[in-house]
Amino acid sequence: MNAVENLGYSLRSIGKIRPWIASLKTLFIHTDFPSQRFQPCTMSMTMSRRALITGITGQDGSYLAEFLLTKGYAVHGLVRRASTFNRGRIEHLFKDVSRDAPNFQLHYGDLADSNSLIRILTIAKPDEVYNLAAQSHVGVSFDTPEYTGDITGIGTTRLLEALRTIGLPTRFYQASSSELYGKALTTPQNEDTPFYPRSPYGCAKAYAYYLTRNYRESYGMFAVNGILFNHESPRRGENFVTRKITLSIANILAGRQECLYLGNLEAKRDWGYAKEFVEGMWMMLQQPVPDDFVLATGRAATVREFLELALTEARIPFERTGIGKEEAYRDTRTGKVIVKIDPHYYRPAEVDFLVGDASKARSKLGWQPKTSLPELVAIMMEADLKLAGVQKA
């Protein structure tokens, strides 16, 4: 059993505190208890703060955990059980952690399981909770709408309700999304732009967004929404389009893959660098009053532009042939077709064009993105070439 498993299993003793949690429930349900009202952020809080991250094994969770550890936080993470070990993005954080003085602890739990949330919150007593866990794939949400609603939507209720039940004065961050804007009614989108979600994922995030605001207004909780536009990195999940492109190009160069199959190349997104976005999440929880913020770069590009930037970065000379579903990209040096369209990846309803206006975050948080799109593509392409063990063409 390794250190990670040890930490998880050592928490079995939690059974002992269940009766105490139950009595807390009886005491606090339906009361507007002042202890839960948010407290001003002070220096002394910074020095001993504890954070709980749901979704710590994901792209953003892993960067946020690194960031908070460097700030001196004790970081707790909720991880769910899977048949394969799902901690590749955070394994490196364990190397200096001792069981006797852990500043980084993982707890088994699930956003589908309220009891696990109450148990973990009671152990961790976090000053800040970052709710990053979700079924986060828009395309998959059309295949699993009920599950997506349960985890991405109701999961937020379970977590907020667990916090309310326990009565900790915890600050709460909800990972809201530019998918709320969907078929956007105005461009660029900011905190005042109306929502028009276009997928079960977008609808679930809209529910979670409003619930977070509702808990802020109803119970005085410091609960905020970060409305984040797409942000990518070498740790991006392999079935999101940017990572799919850079990883496939690397695998094609390594001779492990023949062709990259993509859906709609005309969709436009505002793509930033995930590492920079997690700092913005933290900044939102350090404000004197809770408020919602958009984080975005303010520039948009099509999937096609991302693809061509990646091919160029990998030094693959290419030509386009065909149109629509017959479109293809050919490597002019080898003559092989390396990119094709597969309508399987089209979505029942598409989000055509999103671009964010993060001026509120810039003026109130002092947050701004630094990495350009070509730089982001270069970072991701280089990482995937290294992973595949190949050089540029």
Query: Which residues form the interface with ligand F7E (CB under 6 A)?
Result: 136, 138-139, 177-179, 229-230, 239-241, 244, 262-264, 267, 269, 303, 345, 347, 350-351
Q: Is 55 in the site for ligand NAP (CB under 6 A)?
A: yes
Q: DSSP string covering 270-327, please?
A: --EEHHHHHHHHHHHHTSSS---EEE--S--EEHHHHHHHHHHHTT--EEEES-GGG-
Residue nearer to ligand NAP on the CB measure, 110 or 308: 110
Give the shortest CB-297-to-ligand NAP separation in angstroms: 12
Strands of the 171-177 sheet, one edge to the other = 104-108, 74-79, 50-54, 128-131, 171-177, 223-228, 293-295
Binding pattern to ligand NAP, positions 150-189, x when CB under 6 A?
Answer: -x-----------------------x-x------------
The least CB distance from residue 231 to ligand NAP, in Å, is 5
In degrees and rounded to multiples of 5, residue 79 shows phi and psi of: -125, 145
**Cα 173 to chain center, whole Å?**
12
Q: How many residues bind ligand NAP (CB under 6 A)?
A: 26
Cα–Cα distance list, 105 to 53, 73, 134 (Å): 10, 11, 20
Instruction: Rank residues 111 and 253 by Cβ distance to ligand NAP and give the closer one.
Output: 111
Indicate which of ligand F7E, ligand NAP, none lies near residue 303 (CB less than 5 to 8 Å, by partner kind).
Answer: ligand F7E
Query: Residue 332: exposed, middle, or buried by beta-carbon count in 10 A (0-12, 13-18, 19+)?
Result: exposed
Alpha-carbon distance of 175 to 177, in angstroms, equals 7
Q: Which is nearer to ligand NAP, 132 or 166 (CB)?
A: 132
Complex with ligand NAP: residue 133 or 380, whichever CB lies closer: 133
Contacted by 102, from ligand F7E, ligand NAP, none: CB < 5 to 8 Å by type: none
Contact partner at residue 221 from ligand NAP, ligand F7E, none, CB < 5 to 8 Å by partner kind: none
Partner that binds at residue 128, options ligand NAP, ligand F7E, none, CB closer than 5 to 8 Å by kind: none
Give, for 128, the enclosing helix (H) or strand (E).
Answer: strand 128-131
Backbone angles phi, psi at 174, to 5 degrees: -110, 130
Candidate segments 74-82, 210-218, 248-256, 257-265, binder of ligand NAP by CB under 6 A: 74-82
Q: How far is the CB of 269 from ligand F7E (least distance, A)?
A: 5
d(CA 269, CA 273): 13
Q: Footprint of ligand NAP on this chain (CB under 6 A)? A: 54-55, 57-61, 78, 80, 82, 86, 110-112, 132-136, 151, 175, 177, 228, 230-231, 237
